[in-house]
Amino acid sequence: MPGLPKIETSPGAVDFINDASLTQLLAGPAPGKNLVKDTIAKSLAKEPLSVEETAILLRCNDPELLDDIYGGARTLKETVYGNRIVLFAPLYVGNDCVNDCAYCGFQQTNELSVRHTLTPEELRAQVLSLEAAGQKRLILVFGEHPRYDAEFMAEQVRIVYGTRNGHGEIRRVNINAAPLDIEGYRIVKAAGIGTYQIFQETYHHETYARVHSAHTRKGNYPYRLDGLSRALEAGCDDVGIGVLFGLYDWRFEVLGLVAHAVHLHERYGVGPHTISFPRLRPACGVNFPGLGSVSDADFKRVIATLRLAVPYTGLILTARENAELRRELMSFGVSQIDAGSRIEIGGYTEKGDSQISDREQFELGDTRSLDSVIRELLKDGYLPSFCTACYRLGRTGEHFMEFAIPGFIKRYCTPNALTTLTEYLVDYSSDETRRTAEELIRKELDKLEPGPLKDKLEERIRQIHQTQDRDLYF
């Protein structure tokens, strides 16, 4: 069929999702108290859970034990990640799409969708606007179209890195786009990408086939499932998986995500760097059932269970969710959020706060500015971070896993969060946010043991306040 990708899979590719066995695991009896407590204890010892162990947590419905699960997830988040929340923004580059995903506003047959691909000039304007707000980390998002091939994506990445103004610079560019072949991943890697994200959308084969037409590129389940294995073969060791919650039973999808993480770890010695869990949103011109099928309470369990199952994997909560819910969900294990997001093509240079639905993929739930999100995080005791050090020092993939050991976060992540937050406060923040941050920064510094690291950090914070020196990472 014209336009279909050359079907290249990674060596030894297998479809490791067995629907029947995952379904059977979920149909087992409600677990006893000791089993649930032992499973939580294993997570708290920072050991990843198997698919079977994750199913134990998912079969649990005893309110007291559920409280233990939430408490465990909170504790694990605190011990592995501390109170840091990494911030980023999505940048939609183009919404041409050859696919017809039943839930998405960019689906090929959506006549209400206004199609546009940013020109290089328009892309630079979007980046300048994001930099002027203080953003340092972006994820570029693309529909799936032959014009958005690996060379095109690599060029967009280079344009973003090359667009600077004063202290404004983007230091990490991630990608969320269609799966590539191995050579394609090499091309985008050479442009300096961070994470390559591909969401399987649903791990359930029958549901996948129902919502992704067989005549489209995306209709090929095993090709997509193997997408990040090819990325790892190509040396992109920083990959992100995800599910669109609302397409099928959320418990099954959590097992699918854990099975995927286990598979990548077994084959490549490295699990996914991040897991995303977008929940279905309304989209202009799309009439898709499933909205609201994963309740807020279920969604909270998705996050807490994933936190316990994959202790070292970053969890991303997007602005699809509203501000109030995001605030509540954050404590159960989220490590990254987007903020100040606009998802209409060209949205960052539009005036006003309202969304332009015929140019966006779905409606956002949280359209607050970066500054107000940062202020709320600070008030809630979180430490907003724009850190990009690991990726730039080669501490990613397998190496990242090595470094993700007790003490690492305190030694590197917290200091880098404090320096990047200070940059934000000095260069971009409102007075109110700056005042709110002062107390938290003091508290964080007080928590550090006296010694060379603390001295150096205090010196760097002074340096950012008093000089034009920036990007001082540990």
User: Which of the stretches 10-18, 58-66, 252-260, 279-287 binds ligand SAM when contact is defined by CB under 6 A?
Assistant: 279-287
User: At a CB cut-off of 8 Å and minimum separation 6, what does 292 contact?
Assistant: 246
User: Which of the stretches 67-75, 175-183, 185-193, 253-261 binds ligand SAM when contact is defined by CB under 6 A?
Assistant: 175-183
User: Which of the stretches 32-40, 45-53, 137-145, 374-382 binds ligand SAM when contact is defined by CB under 6 A?
Assistant: 137-145
Q: Using CB under 6 A, which of 320, 342, 368, 460 touches ligand SAM?
A: 320
- 177 binds, options ligand SF4, ligand SAM, none, Cβ within 5 to 8 A by partner type: ligand SAM
Of 199 and 391, which CB lies nearer to ligand SAM in the complex structure? 199
Of 160 and 418, which CB lies nearer to ligand SAM in the complex structure? 160
Of 145 and 375, which CB lies nearer to ligand SAM in the complex structure? 145
Rounded least distance, CB 328 to ligand SF4, Å: 27
- Determine if 223 is a binding residue for ligand SAM (CB under 6 A): no
Residue 208 near residue 221, CB atoms below 8 Å: yes
- 107 binds, options ligand SAM, ligand SF4, none, Cβ within 5 to 8 A by partner type: ligand SF4
- 69 binds, options ligand SF4, ligand SAM, none, Cβ within 5 to 8 A by partner type: none
- Determine if 141 is a binding residue for ligand SAM (CB under 6 A): yes
Of 94 and 384, which CB lies nearer to ligand SF4 in the complex structure? 94
Q: Using CB under 6 A, which of 199, 250, 277, 332 touches ligand SAM?
A: 199
Q: Using CB under 6 A, which of 54, 176, 388, 396 touches ligand SAM?
A: 176
Rounded least distance, CB 361 to ligand SAM, Å: 5
Of 76 and 177, which CB lies nearer to ligand SF4 in the complex structure? 177
- 417 binds, options ligand SAM, ligand SF4, none, Cβ within 5 to 8 A by partner type: none
Of 106 and 208, which CB lies nearer to ligand SF4 in the complex structure? 106
User: At a CB cut-off of 8 Å and minimum separation 6, what does 2 contact?
Assistant: none
- 330 binds, options ligand SF4, ligand SAM, none, Cβ within 5 to 8 A by partner type: none
- Determine if 263 is a binding residue for ligand SAM (CB under 6 A): no
State the residues that interact with ligand SF4 by CB under 6 A: 97, 99, 101, 104, 106-107, 143-144, 218
Binding site for ligand SAM (CB under 6 A): 103-104, 141-144, 176-178, 198-199, 201, 244, 278, 280-281, 283, 320, 361-362
